[in-house]
Amino acid sequence: MAESARLQVSDEVAISITNMNKWYGTFHVLRDIDLTVYRGERIVICGPSGSGKSTLIRCINALEEHQKGKIVVDGTELSSDLKNIDKIRSEVGMCFQHFNLFPHLTILENCTLAPIWVRKIPQKEAQETAMHFLEKVKIPDQADKYPGQLSGGQQQRVAIARSLCMKPRVMLFDEPTSALDPEMIKEVLDTMIELAEEGMTMLCVTHEMGFARQVANRVIFMDAGQIVEQNEPEEFFNNPQSERTQLFLSQILGH
């Protein structure tokens, strides 16, 4: 991908977070988060463990509730109204660290369940869509197996396909490769890179810095519940401004 094309995104706003705060009981996990994601942007979020990365992206599809501030996804504001929450969730796909496939359903059923029940798509059509995306993540031949019969890398690719079957406008990834054996990381990253090249809006919590360099237009560094630094990947890695970022980068790149 040419550098200029990579950084070029539309000026349509996909997600806008303003002055968002969240507490777990009295513990202030997210502090004054301001973040605007434009359509087609690929954002990588990194930071030390416990800094609130997962919490941030889980707030975006209301898996966690925020207590202050505003989150607007695709023009719909996240409030306690269940209708809005369900609408946003069906527009936003999410992949988890531990895949969270449904073990009692086959791979194909995992992929067709939400389209059939949420989008009310006929079963036949949902199966065709599912096979299309399973082919895309290169495991169409596993469609009739159960998740427990697949390797970790395959399961994570199924999880990506399952989200894609809902035709989401935004994809969230929470450390999608950190539960995988090293030889499986690449197959998942390749799938994600392909997705990025097709112009999917992505927010990705990951420590795969190679991936960040290759596809991200922005890298965000979080610490102690705050956004400490954000920049284009080249600048971010070559010329980090804040001390905490430098320390973090030296720890994960330093060996």
159's CB contacts (< 8 A; 6+ apart) are: 95, 96, 99, 100, 101, 176
Binding mask 10-49 for ligand ADP (x = CB under 6 A): --------------x--x-x-----------------x-x
CA distances from 48 to 45, 76, 83, 154 (A): 10, 31, 35, 27
Q: Which two tokens stand for residue 189?
A: 């990253």
52 near ligand ADP, rule: CB under 6 A: yes
Which listed residue (17, 33, 101, 204) binds other proteins by CB under 8 A? 101
- In a 3-state reduction of DSSP, which class is residue 147? helix
Find out whether 180 and 208 touch, Cβ atoms under 8 Å: no
Nearer Cβ to other proteins (114/215):
114
Q: Order of strands across the sheet with 27-38?
A: 27-38, 13-24, 68-73, 76-77
Find out whether 208 and 189 touch, Cβ atoms under 8 Å: yes
55 near ligand ADP, rule: CB under 6 A: yes
Which listed residue (36, 67, 79, 102) binds other proteins by CB under 8 A? 102
Binding mask 160-189 for other proteins (x = CB under 8 A): --xx--x-----------------------
162 near ligand ADP, rule: CB under 6 A: no
Q: How far is the CB of 23 from other proteins (least distance, A)?
A: 18
- The site for other proteins, by CB under 8 A, has a size of 28
- Exposed / middle / buried, residue 122 (Cβ in 10 Å: 0-12, 13-18, 19+): exposed
Whole-number Å distance between alpha carbons of 6 and 35: 20
29 touches, from other proteins, ligand ADP, Mg ion, none (C-beta below 5 to 8 Å by class): ligand ADP
Residues making contact with ligand ADP (CB under 6 A):
24, 27, 29, 47, 49-55
Chain positions contacting other proteins, by CB under 8 A: 61-63, 82, 86-87, 89-90, 92-94, 96, 98, 100-104, 113-114, 117-118, 146, 148-149, 162-163, 166
